[in-house]
């Protein structure tokens, strides 16, 4: 059953945003996705698809003003305008995340040998235009890892502008690392979530 489950870094939009959910919902901060060919990360050759968000090409003069009226601060708008930094940045995030997560697992004496053997070749990463509905748990999420297909989906960038969680900014760079952590955990029979202090070394799967 574990391999069939979907381990989520959940983003409960309706619950968190309350009355402002209808106004924000699955707002696409970088615009709509485009059909683009898959790419491969430079070091590990991990297949990924940016859906065009490696080069959003937006008119930020108008868009920034619109977001500012919604209460999005200048710092968050600047993060969005800079996304992803360069057309190859997403591939680098994927490789860097794999390195960082593998190092984290290798530090665990009981996992080190097997962690070194975890293959990057199974992964497929897709960048989504916004928070997206996950039918397994019937919620909107920021990212998800599907063990049965080794697919990771993460939103590009998202800011909550209303409700009790106003000010939360979610970024693909961080979400990719989280979900690669779920990949390693499922491959090595470690409980993926929650992650207490000392994870993954102190957490055994059940």
Check if the beta carbon of residue 92 is closer than 8 Å to that of residue 117: no
Number of domains composing the chain? 1
| pLDDT digits 0-9 by tens, 91-138 | 999 999 999 999 999 999 999 999 999 999 999 999 999 988 888 777
Q: Judge whether 108 lies within some domain.
A: yes
Specify the pLDDT at position 6: 53
Q: Judge whether 19 lies within some domain.
A: yes
Distance CA 20, CA 97 (A): 33
Q: Judge whether 203 lies within some domain.
A: no
Q: Judge whether 204 lies within some domain.
A: no
Check if the beta carbon of residue 84 is closer than 8 Å to that of residue 54: yes
Distance CA 35, CA 65 (A): 28
Distance CA 152, CA 16 (A): 23
- Determine the structural domain holding residue 38 and report its residue range: 2-187
Q: Judge whether 199 lies within some domain.
A: no
Q: Judge whether 200 lies within some domain.
A: no
| pLDDT digits 0-9 by tens, 133-145 | 888 777 788 889 9
Check if the beta carbon of residue 182 is closer than 8 Å to that of residue 192: yes
Q: Judge whether 202 lies within some domain.
A: no
Higher-confidence residue of 46 and 163: namely: 46
Q: Judge whether 172 lies within some domain.
A: yes
């Amino acid at each position: 059953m574990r391999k069939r489950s979907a381990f989520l870094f959940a983003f409960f939009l309706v619950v968190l945003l309350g009355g402002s959910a209808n106004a924000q919902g699955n707002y696409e901060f970088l615009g709509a996705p485009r059909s683009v060919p898959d790419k491969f990360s430079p070091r590990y050759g991990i297949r990924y698809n940016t859906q065009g968000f490696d080069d959003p090409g937006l008119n930020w003069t108008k868009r920034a003003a619109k977001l500012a009226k919604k209460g999005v601060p200048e710092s968050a708008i600047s993060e969005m305008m800079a996304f992803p930094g360069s057309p190859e940045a997403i591939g680098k995030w994927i490789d860097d995340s794999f390195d960082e997560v593998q190092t984290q697992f290798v530090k665990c004496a009981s996992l080190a040998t097997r962690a070194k053997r975890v293959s990057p070749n199974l992964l497929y990463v897709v960048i989504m235009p916004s928070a997206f509905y996950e039918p397994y748990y019937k919620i909107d999420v920021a990212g998800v890892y599907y063990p049965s297909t080794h697919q990771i989906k993460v939103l590009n960038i998202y800011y909550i502008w209303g409700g009790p969680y106003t000010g939360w900014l979610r970024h693909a760079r961080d979400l990719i690392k989280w979900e690669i952590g779920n990949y390693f955990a499922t491959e090595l029979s470690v409980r993926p979530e929650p992650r207490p202090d000392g994870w993954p070394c102190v957490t055994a799967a059940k």
